[in-house]
Chain A
């Protein structure tokens, strides 16, 4: 099994996660089999609440804070799911059921296994 982050991108033009959109996510979380695949999830506040931080020259260097998200794009990151799937095709099948998939786009990326699998609790 492998872990994938399903990153939820959509346009804020139509407003932030509405009641209906969130209700669909609740239903998705209750879908059959979702409990075995979804290892975590978070929704984010609107991109306007973001601050972007960069440090010049290394730890302790000059901290530069700018307002807004890192990339001024039409579609912004709105949240994510952590999916545990056997392979990319299974992850894609689940990503295609995430309600943001038909309101925007889902980026699926394998999670870098920084800790050796045996070290996980």
Chain B
């Protein structure tokens, strides 16, 4: 008996490749999705009895194609309906064994199909929300319910989002093709942003009680690895995977015993996953070699992560290099979160007065809980405790998740019970 989980894993892993091929041969992503869904159900019913076939992808492809033909026939047979959107009905289905031999595509063809699928699901004409949903459903083959849970929306909302995204692909005729080399610099960022955002949501959930979401992190790394396979040697793809692994390596040390997040400064660095850090560093080195001295945004972020991951402690971190990397990152695009991190790094390099000046120099909007918490930190070190308290209270008010509020509340308690309490209150 094969464990159910392994069956599901096989079906999931092969499913995206089958969707990719059928979307091309059937000319409809929608139809391919529905057919592969039905084929997956059939596989999970048949394989416990027959065992997993030698070539599960071929089995799924043949089955899904038959399901698609059945769907087209049913659609065509409906009274008052013209042949579905002018699609041609295929002829009789050949003998399954022959069909498997005939359709075993060379790997470069399925690779191109998967690239087409990636660039269609992550087309910049789709909203980032829609791209993320499609990537997790179509590429990572997560169930709609699981994606909805991960993004804390009702399942019906996520299902509707996916339907709208697929409708837009069809209505606007978002093409099913790989961008040319000249288009790639415009198209690749839209793909990388999707994977990065899934990882960010895993690393710093915008809601809920967990400090990090392992499930989403696994999916993000899996997608980044897939991109690496599809576009070998692409520097920003290597850098993104490197960045995700650096972050993932720190996860064991990120949650305290009380469930509150532990800041990088306070983490027990012996709990970091050294094997992951080594892999991330090797990927980054490869990205540097291949980028010809022109670092993209993900390479800069991976360098930042590498700096922290190789520093023996928070105090013995190369803050000068970190400030320099943030400057480069900000020169590529303005980003309030990056600017705030830069201000913190300036503080570590030049002291709390410089940090306060850097924090205050940031634009007034938007001032997040992170901004107030950073300002509190600078004020506390300058022993301006009353003002620090005030900033921390504002930060607690603005914090949107439980773990974040707990972390800030704990800092507030420490501040209130410190040996030099502020006056008043």
Residues of chain A touching chain B, judged by Cβ–Cβ distance below 8 Å, are: 2, 86-90, 92, 109-110
Contacts and interface: CB of A to CB of B under 8 A. Distances in A.
Interface residues of B, number: 10
Contacts of B174: 87-89
A87 B175 contact: yes
A110 B171 contact: yes
A86 B175 CA distance: 9
Interface string B132-156: 0000000000000000000000000
Contacts of B123: 88
A88 B176 CA distance: 10
Contacts of A2: 173
Interface of B: 123, 125, 171-175, 177, 179, 183
Contacts of A88: 123, 125, 172-175
B184 to A, nearest CB: 13
B177 A89 contact: yes
A2 B170 CA distance: 11
A64 to B, nearest CB: 32
A116 B323 CA distance: 61
Contacts, number: 23
5 contacts: A86-B173, A88-B125, A88-B172, A90-B175, A92-B125
Nearest to A96: B186
- Could you tell me the dominant secondary structure of chain B's interface residues? loop
Contacts of A90: 175
Contacts of A89: 174-175, 177, 179, 183
Contacts of B171: 110
A92 B177 CA distance: 15
Given A87-B174, A89-B179, 20 more contacts: A2-B173, A86-B173, A86-B175, A87-B173, A87-B175, A88-B125, A88-B172, A88-B173, A88-B174, A88-B175, A89-B174, A89-B175, A89-B177, A89-B183, A90-B175, A92-B125, A109-B172, A110-B171, A110-B172, A110-B173
A56 to B, nearest CB: 30
Sorted nearest first, the 4 A-B pairs with minimum C-beta distance are A87-B175, A87-B173, A88-B172, A110-B172
B277 to A, nearest CB: 40
Nearest to B82: A116
A6 to B, nearest CB: 13
A74 to B, nearest CB: 19
A117 to B, nearest CB: 9
Nearest to A117: B86
Contacts of A92: 125
Contacts of A87: 173-175
A86 B174 CA distance: 10
Nearest to A89: B175
A91 to B, nearest CB: 8
Nearest to A85: B173
A55 to B, nearest CB: 28
Q: Which of the listed residues A86, A87, A88, A109 has the most CB atoms from chain B within 10 Å of its own CB?
A: A88
